[in-house]
């Protein structure tokens, strides 16, 4: 994991439509919740994505954006978004370049660790959680980020 207080690395990845999206683009309207997950359509990742979907209105009301990053291709992300009606951006990191930049590659470079960062408009990491299989911790992290952002 990257250190809280440090600067989040800039990146550009294709989204679920194949369009390139950068961290700076995500930060244009405010802070962003950037979460990393192993794979679309797996039970844990589906549960996590659906919990974020269910919180999405609160996330937006707090002035936050959210984006997920995993190593699947844009087409798989598009199908995942459609099936579960996910209203947020999914980014494709096929080569795991950004996954490595954010220090969330799995052991020996295999897989992706489940991690969530709160990044402010100046690209500083304000908070982070690494919880792997404890998906509830990610939901609690997002609820806390929403509550803090809503208070200003």
Name the residues annotated as catalytic: 45
Q: Are 8 and 2 in contact (CB under 8 A)?
A: yes
Report the distance separating Cα 70 and Cα 91, nearest Å: 7
Return the H-helix or E-strand segment holding 121: none
Long-range contacts of 18-23 (CB under 8 A, 24+ apart): 18/74, 21/67, 21/89, 21/91, 23/119, 23/123
DSSP 10: P
């Amino acid at each position: 994991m990257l250190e809280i207080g440090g600067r989040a690395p800039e990146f550009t990845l294709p989204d679920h439509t194949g369009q390139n999206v950068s961290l700076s683009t995500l930060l244009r309207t405010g802070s962003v919740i950037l979460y990393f997950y192993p794979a679309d359509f797996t039970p844990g990742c589906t549960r996590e994505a659906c919990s974020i979907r269910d919180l999405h209105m609160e996330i937006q009301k707090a002035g936050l954006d959210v984006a997920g990053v995993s190593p699947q291709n844009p087409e798989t992300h598009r199908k995942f978004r459609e099936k579960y009606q996910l209203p947020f951006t999914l980014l494709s990191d096929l080569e795991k370049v950004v996954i490595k930049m954010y220090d969330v590659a799995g052991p020996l470079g295999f897989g992706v660790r489940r991690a969530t960062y709160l990044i402010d408009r100046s690209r500083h990491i304000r908070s982070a959680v690494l919880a792997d299989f404890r998906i509830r911790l990610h939901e609690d992290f997002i609820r806390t980020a929403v509550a803090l952002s809503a208070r200003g």
